Structure 1
Amino acid sequence: MKESFSLDALLRDNIRKLVPYSSARDEFKGEASVLLDANENAFGSPYSKNYNRYPDPLQHSLKDKLYEIKGVPPEQTFLGNGSDEAIDILFRAFCEPARDNVILVPPTYGMYEVSANINNVAYKKVNLTADYQLDLDGIAAAIDAHTKLIFICSPNNPTGNSIRRQDMETILVNFDGVVVIDEAYINFSKQPSFTKDLQEFPNLVVLQTLSKAWGLAALRLGMAFASPEIINVFNKIKPPYNINQATQEIVLDALQGVAQVNDWIKSTVAEREALTQALIKLPQVQHITPSDANFILVKLEEPRALYTYLVDLGIIVRDRSKVELCEGCLRFTIGTPAENALMLKAIAAFYSVVED
Structure 2
Amino acid sequence: MSQTDVDSGISQLARRQVRALTPYQSARRIGGQGHIWLNANEAADSGEYALDCSRLNRYPECQPPQVVNAYAAYASVAPEQLLVTRGGDEGIELLIRTFCEPGQDSILLCSPTYGMYAISAQTNDVAIIDVPLSAERQPDFDAIIAKLNQVKIVFLCSPNNPTGDLVDQAGLCRLLTAAKNRALVVVDEAYIEFCPEFSQASLLADYPELVIIRTLSKAFGLAGLRCGFTLAHPHVIELLLKVIPPYPIPEPVAQIAAQALTESGLATMRNRVAEVNSLKLELAGQLSKHSDVKEVFAPNGNYLLVRFSNGAALFSRMAKAGIILRDFASRPGLADCIRITIGTQTEMDAVLNVLQQEQ
Report what 1:237 is aligned to. Answer: 243
Q: Name the CA distance, whole Å, in 2 between partners of 1:50 and 1:131.
A: 52
Q: Counterpart in 1 of 2:21?
A: none
Say if 2:273 is the partner of 1:265: yes
Residue 163 of structure 1 pairs with residue 163 of structure 2: no
CA distance in 2, matches of 1:131, 1:294: 21
TM-score scaled to structure 1, two decimals?
Answer: 0.83
Partners of 1:196 and 1:137 lie apart in 2 by 23
* Bigger Rg over Cα: 1
Quote the offset at 1:289 in angstroms.
1.2
Q: Is 2:214 the partner of 1:208?
A: yes
Partner of 1:9: none
Query: Deviations 1:264-322 (Å, cap 9, x if unpaired)?
Result: 11111111110000011111101111221111111112111211221222211110112
Is the 1:180–1:205 contact (alpha carbons within 8 Å) kept by the matching residues of 2? Answer: yes
SS in 1 for 2:185: strand
What amino acid is aligned across from residue 291 of structure 1 in structure 2? P
Of 132, 140, 143, the match for 1:138: 143
Indicate if the aligned counterparts of 1:126 and 1:139 stay in contact, CA closer than 8 A. yes
2:112 touches 2:132 (CA, 8 Å); kept in 1?
Answer: yes
Conserved 8 A contact 1:80-1:242: yes
Secondary structure class of the residue paired with 1:198: helix
SS of the aligned residue for 2:84 comes to strand
Match of 1:72 among 63, 73, 77: 77
Q: How far apart in 2 are the matches of 1:248 and 1:62?
A: 6
CA distance in 2, matches of 1:65, 1:191: 20
- Alignment gaps of 5+ in structure 2: 1-51
Q: Deviations for 1:103-153, whole angstroms, at most 9, x for unmatched residues?
A: 110111000000010000001000001221111222133333x41000000
Q: How does 1:308-323 map to 2 (within 5 A)?
A: 308-323=316-331
Percent identity between matched residues is: 36
Aligned equivalents of 2:72, 2:55: Cα separation in 1: 28
Does the Cα contact within 8 Å between 1:95 and 1:101 map onto a contact in 2? Answer: yes
Per-residue deviation at 1:85?
0.7
Please tell me whether the aligned partners of residues 320 and 329 of structure 1 are also in contact (alpha carbons under 8 angstroms). Answer: yes
TM-score normalised by structure 2 residue count: 0.82
Q: Which amino acid aligns with 1:110?
A: G
Query: In the alignment, what sits opposite 1:128?
Result: 133
Q: Secondary structure at the match of 1:298?
A: strand
1:209-241 C-alpha deviation (Å, 9 max, x unpaired): 100000010000010000111101111110000
- Matched to 2:112, the amino acid is P
| 1:130/1:325 contact within 8 Å kept | no
Contact residue 190 and residue 292 of structure 1 kept, 8 A: no
Please give the alpha-carbon distance, in whole angstroms, between the structure 2 residues aligned to 1:204 and 1:336.
36
Amino acid at match of 1:277: G
**Which residue of structure 2 aligns with residue 37 of structure 1?**
none
CA distance in 1, matches of 2:102, 2:272: 42
C-alpha contact 1:320 1:331 (8 A) present in aligned 2: yes
Shift of 1:48: 6.3
Cα shift at 1:49? 4.6
Structure 2 residue aligned with 1:281: 289
> How far apart are the structure 1 equivalents of 2:219 and 2:76?
17
Aligned residues: 304
* Residue 90 (structure 1) shift: 0.8
2:96 matches 1:91? yes
**RMSD of equivalent CA atoms:** 1.4
> What is residue 298 of structure 1 aligned with on the other side?
306
- Counterpart AA for 1:147: V
Distance 1:80 1:50 in 2: 20
Residues 7-47 of structure 1 show CA distances to partners (whole Å, capped at 9, x for unaligned) of xxxxxxxxxxxxxxxxxxxxxxxxxxxxxxxxxxxxxxxx9
1:221 maps to which of 209, 223, 227: 227
The answer (yes or no) to whether the contact 2:219–2:272 under 8 Å persists in 1 is: yes
Matched with 2:346 is 338
Counterpart for residue 147 of structure 1: 151
CA distance in 1, matches of 2:134, 2:154: 17
